[in-house]
Amino acid sequence: MTATVHVLTCGYAGDRVAGTVTLIHDGDLVAVVDPGMVADRRLILDPLAELGFAVGDVTDVVFSHHHPDHTLNAALFPAARFHDHWAIYSGDLWEDRDADGFALSESVHLMRTPGHTSEDITTLAETGTGLVAATHLWWTADGPEVDPRAEDLDELRVSRERLLALRPGLIIPGHGAPFTPAPDGRAAQG
């Protein structure tokens, strides 16, 4: 089986900030990636319902990193397991594990991609049209080339190269619309 991926709400950064929130469905997996800051929670909940899912259907939540603009609305999904760079959290259970290579399902895996923070991870989904990466290696299709909040620009560059080597057909950045990457990592088309 291959995953399906839907952007629930498209993020932005400027005078105001919202994270891009993504839904990935693969068999029994119903995962929300980065349920962070949005202008109104309905911007997450309404598209989820339009796709036929209730909050109780969400099995997993993935945090690309622990900034509030990517985590603030996690409590919308009380039945979910929560994933970050080093553990899975469910109720009062904390299960240590390295995210790199961890499989949420047959078609959905996590990948360590430090740079923006030392704890960043990317969610990779094999879909019928190719690999999709939900990541904060890019804020938007246009970068910024130099991440103004990056903890380590060298690590960011290496992580971008590592991800691009997988040849994703679509990248869902942390604060913008999905884009098709060109070899240099910039948008080939939005």
**101-117: average pLDDT:** 97
Residue at 2: amino acid letter: T
Domains by residue range for the chain, with CATH: 4-84+98-189 (3.60.15.10)
Query: CA angle 12-18-22, nearest 5°?
Result: 95
Buried b (16+ CB within 10 A) or exposed e, 123-157: bbbbbeeebbbbbbbbbbbeeeeebeebeeeebbb
pLDDT of residue 87: 98
At residue 1, does pLDDT exceed 90? no
* pTM of the predicted structure, to 2 decimals: 0.96
pLDDT of residue 165: 95
At residue 153, does pLDDT exceed 80? yes
**Category of 36 on φ-ψ map: left (φ > 0), alpha (ψ -120 to 50) or beta:** beta
pLDDT of residue 143: 79
- Summarize pLDDT for 32-91 with one digit per residue, the tens: 999 999 999 999 999 999 999 999 999 999 999 999 999 999 999 999 999 999 999 999
At residue 152, does pLDDT exceed 80? yes
Whether 56 and 42 have beta carbons less than 8 Å apart is answered as no
- DSSP assignment, residue 179? B
Cα 158 from chain centre? 18
Proportion of the chain above pLDDT 90, given as a percent = 91
**177-185: average pLDDT:** 85
Q: How many residues does the chain have?
A: 190
